[in-house]
């Protein structure tokens, strides 16, 4: 079957300034300033300061004396922000999910740099020209309320049932990375754009409506305001530590196997970065063996390095989540070329 999908995800709506930017940007910033500015998709920073980013940034500052200034938003938002600032660059490192990291590259926002340890990252999880490298692996998924539902739904078709009316929501394709992933997975599972859009048109009868933020859907599911929503494994696994009613599942089509695809957090050094050397050091640090070993234990994700094989409790639980799930590889070139067409088709089919 031809796959149209393309990892995208981890996303949010409104931009969140997690730290006040002190860099003046562009050529006006002093190259020896002890700061590095990161623009990133959400999911790796803990709401209680207990996420992978929190630990890595703290350790990095302690080791190097370089302070991390952090700006968070949706993958698409981060690229658009960096693009608007292209003549007066503010960010040093950008971290997004596919296909937005490829979009950043195609718009000339990235410069080549292969972090130390990149040789241990699979070829599919990094750019051949060194423009970006995955730092945390991840997979697309759905969540459900374990308290209200005795078992997770199994199929796409089940979600058309009337019991899900106004109890189901997925983030907006084209705005949210994970929302775009819904469309990608549907196109793979249903065998193309037309049947996927036909299904999503029917699903609209149960859909609460648009959501710019995927991460904000999890609290609604945990409280029972929603029974089902979309997400991604790393983010939802981390959220489930404080949201006990969250369960992760992967829809199948009919009697087929449940499926998913990789949604890695990919990092690149920004072109004309005001603190380029500091950006390189941070990328090296994020791919170091020490930081990679904490990806599962602290972040609830999967290491990007092949030579790092964690055995912590989270790693074991994450592996079990993916048992019996068929992992497909999206047709990246097709998605990159036709994403706007697919999004426009979704808008037309759903009246969004």
For range 267-271, the mean pLDDT:
98
Residue 6 has pLDDT above 60, yes or no: no
Pairwise CA distance, residues 173 & 185, whole Å: 12
Q: In sequence order, what are the beta bridge partners of 133?
A: 126, 267
In this prediction, residue 5 has a pLDDT band, given cuts at 50, 70 and 90, of very low
CB 175 within 8 A of CB 76: yes
The phi, psi pair for 82, rounded to 5°, reads -60, -35
Residue 258 has pLDDT above 80, yes or no: yes
Pairwise CA distance, residues 220 & 225, whole Å: 5
In this prediction, residue 31 has a pLDDT band, given cuts at 50, 70 and 90, of low
Q: In sequence order, what are the beta bridge partners of 96?
A: 266
- Give the SS3 label for residue 80: helix
Mean pLDDT, rounded, of the chain: 90
The percent of residues in the chain predicted with pLDDT above 90, rounded, is 76
Q: Tokens representing 190?
A: 């249903």
pLDDT in tens, 165-207: 999 999 999 878 889 999 999 999 999 999 999 999 999 999 9
Q: Tokens representing 175?
A: 């705005």
More confident position, 322 or 333: 322
Pairwise CA distance, residues 141 & 60, whole Å: 31
Pairwise CA distance, residues 304 & 301, whole Å: 9
Q: Tokens representing 120?
A: 């241990």
pLDDT in tens, 85-127: 999 999 999 999 888 898 899 899 999 999 999 999 999 899 9
CB 30 within 8 A of CB 212: no
Q: Tokens representing 42?
A: 């959400």
Cis peptide before 99 (omega within 30 of 0): yes
pLDDT in tens, 293-314: 999 999 999 999 999 999 999 9
Residue 9 has pLDDT above 70, yes or no: no
CB 140 within 8 A of CB 181: yes
Residue 19 has pLDDT above 80, yes or no: no
- Give the SS3 label for residue 139: strand
């Amino acid at each position: 079957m031809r796959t149209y999908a393309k990892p995208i995800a981890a996303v949010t709506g409104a931009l969140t300034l997690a730290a006040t930017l002190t860099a003046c940007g562009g050529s006006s910033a002093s190259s020896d300033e002890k700061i590095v500015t990161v623009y990133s998709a959400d999911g790796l920073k803990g709401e209680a300061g207990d996420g992978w980013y929190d630990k890595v940034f703290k350790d990095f500052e302690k080791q190097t004396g370089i302070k991390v200034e952090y700006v968070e938003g949706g993958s698409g938002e981060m690229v658009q922000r960096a693009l608007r600032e292209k003549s007066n660059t503010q960010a040093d490192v950008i971290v997004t999910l596919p296909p937005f990291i490829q979009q950043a590259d195609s718009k000339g926002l990235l410069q080549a740099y292969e972090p130390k340890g990149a040789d241990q990252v699979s070829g599919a999880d990094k750019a051949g020209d060194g423009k970006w490298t995955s730092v945390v692996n991840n997979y697309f998924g759905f969540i459900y309320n374990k308290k209200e539902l005795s078992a997770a739904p199994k199929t796409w078709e089940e979600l058309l049932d009337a019991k899900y009316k106004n109890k189901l929501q997925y983030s907006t394709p084209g705005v949210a990375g994970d929302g775009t992933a819904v469309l990608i997975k549907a196109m793979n599972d249903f065998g193309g754009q037309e049947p996927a859009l036909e299904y999503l048109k029917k699903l609209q009868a149960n859909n609460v409506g648009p959501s710019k933020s995927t991460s904000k859907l999890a609290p609604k599911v945990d409280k029972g305001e929603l029974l089902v929503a979309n997400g991604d494994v790393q983010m939802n696994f981390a959220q489930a530590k404080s949201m006990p009613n969250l369960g992760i599942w992967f829809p199948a089509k009919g009697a087929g196997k449940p499926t998913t695809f990789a949604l890695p957090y990919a990092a690149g050094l920004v072109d004309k970065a005001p603190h380029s050397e500091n950006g390189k050091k941070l990328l090296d640090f994020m791919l170091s063996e020490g930081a990679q070993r904490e990806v599962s234990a602290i972040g609830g994700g999967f290491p990007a390095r092949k030579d790092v094989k964690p055995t912590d409790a989270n790693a074991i639980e994450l592996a079990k989540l993916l048992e019996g799930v068929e992992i497909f590889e999206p047709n990246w070139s097709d998605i990159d070329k036709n994403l706007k067409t697919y999004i426009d088709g979704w808008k037309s089919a759903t009246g969004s």
